[in-house]
Amino acid sequence: MYGRKLAPGPIPADLPVTALVDDFFLAYNAARLREACHLFVEQMLEPDTTVCLTISGALTPAGLGHAAFVPLIEAGFVDWIVTTGANLYHDLHRSLGFELYQTSPLVDDVRLREEGIIRIYDIVFEQDVLFETDAFIRRALTAPEFRGRMGTAEFHHHLGRYVRERERLLGLPHRSLLGAAYEAGVPIYTPAPGDSGLGMNVAALRLQGREIGFDPELDVNETAAIVYGTKRAGGKSGLLILGGGTPKNFALQTEPQIQEVLGLDERGHDYFVQITDARPDTGGLSGATPSEAVTWGKVDPNQLPNTVVCYADTTIALPILVAYALAKRPPRPLKRLYERRAELLDALRTDDLARPADAGGGRT
């Protein structure tokens, strides 16, 4: 009648992470993290579910690209990604052989500036790391495959190949998010490509007269096609949302694009797990709660029980969720959605054009 009895025993010294989550994360946001782990492992990682990971906040400078995102990609637990460009840019530093260091957040920033040191809260690195990373990016972008406008998935795929080659050449243990996604065929989208060192270097090359640029409309259509193709084939769509911001909304807007703009029959994403420290009552929880997202058609109303919001620091909750998933589930076959983008986009276009002109949606 009342649910699970709360009567945990003493915590043992050799407690595995799975037992920690299952037996001791019992109330408040610990319980929400347990529910997130269970939903992710028991339902979202079923073979018929396509999983999108969205990333905001400075997670890769803390090392979570190599530590958490790469294992998820290689295990087949993530099929497509939406992230800030900054997370991709700062993940490149270690791939180029540079070091980032832990420090106290209570430092003299004026002195750091004088010494050429960059700070991201309690992470520091030399300013030259930025200059060398920019130089690598610009060299890579002179390759012929970067000519013309392209979607960010294609841009990141080509760049991921060069990053992976540099990691191998240097013999580095570090695996980058871009390099791992390139090898696994996982498309990575950045909804605000100009808002990072990657976009800044593209802009610099444009200023110098080079034909290079992003195609944001293609990104909107490709991501909608991924979700539509999944549901059209009888599968399900799940979102693992870290933080909020533009990546969260960009992944969620695939459903309004399908339903509202294109006028195609769809009901919303099936699974929704979010780890965030933002609040909905201040307007700071981007995309808001799963129940609010139902009103936009972003989440299937019949699937609200399959949604969890854990109000916690991502840098604490993510390693626990990843360790739990890797311990509980064997790897899934890679869906390699990057290689299926054209096929999925053609299917979306065909169904859009076949819809009667008076059926609603974006056509007139």
pLDDT, tens digit, for every residue of 234-265? Answer: 999 999 999 989 999 999 999 999 999 999 99
CA 107 to chain centre: 31
Cβ–Cβ contacts within 10 Å for residue 356, how many? 8
> What spatial distance separates the first Cα and last Cα of the chain, rounded to whole Å?
54
Q: What is the pLDDT of residue 104?
A: 95
User: Per-residue DSSP letters for 26-40?
Assistant: -SHHHHHHHHHHHHI
Is 237 within 8 Å of 227 (Cβ atoms)? yes
The answer to whether 172 and 91 have CB atoms below 8 angstroms apart is: no
Phi, psi (deg, nearest 5) at residue 179:
-65, -40
**C-beta atoms surrounding 207 within 10 Å:** 8
How far, in Å, CA of 242 to CA of 252, rounded?
Answer: 13
Q: How far is it, in rounded angstroms, from Cα 363 to Cα 354? A: 11
Cβ 318 vs Cβ 68: under 8 Å: yes
The C-alpha atoms of residue 106 and residue 121 are separated, in whole angstroms, by 9
Q: Is 36 left (phi over 0), alpha (psi -120 to 50) or beta?
A: alpha
> How many Cβ atoms sit within 10 Å of the Cβ of residue 85?
22
Which two three-digit tokens encode residue 34?
A: 């347990």
* Count of helix runs (H) and strand runs (E) in the chain: 16, 11
Beta strand spans in 48-161 (E)? 49-55, 80-83, 101-102, 117-120, 123-126, 148-150
pLDDT of residue 286: 60
Q: HSE, CB side, 13 Å, CA atoms: give it for residue 164.
A: 15
Q: Which segments in the chain show pLDDT lower than 50?
A: 363-364
**Lookup: tokens for 99:** 């070091």
Per-residue model confidence (pLDDT) at position 363: 46
User: Any idea which residues carry the catalytic annotation?
Assistant: 298
Tokens of 230: 């999944």
Rg from Cα positions in the chain: 21
Distance CA 355, CA 83 (A): 32
pLDDT at res. 288: 72
How many other CB atoms are found less than 10 A from the CB of residue 164?
A: 19
Domains of the chain: 22-84+149-193+211-350 (3.40.910.10)
**pLDDT tens digits for range 159-193:** 999 999 999 999 998 899 999 999 999 999 999 99
Going by the DSSP 8-state scheme, the letter that residue 92 receives in this structure is H
For residue 202, is it left (φ>0), alpha (ψ between -120 and 50) or beta? alpha
Quote the longest CA-to-CA distance of the chain: 70
Cα-based angle 29, 239, 66 (whole degrees, multiple of 5): 80
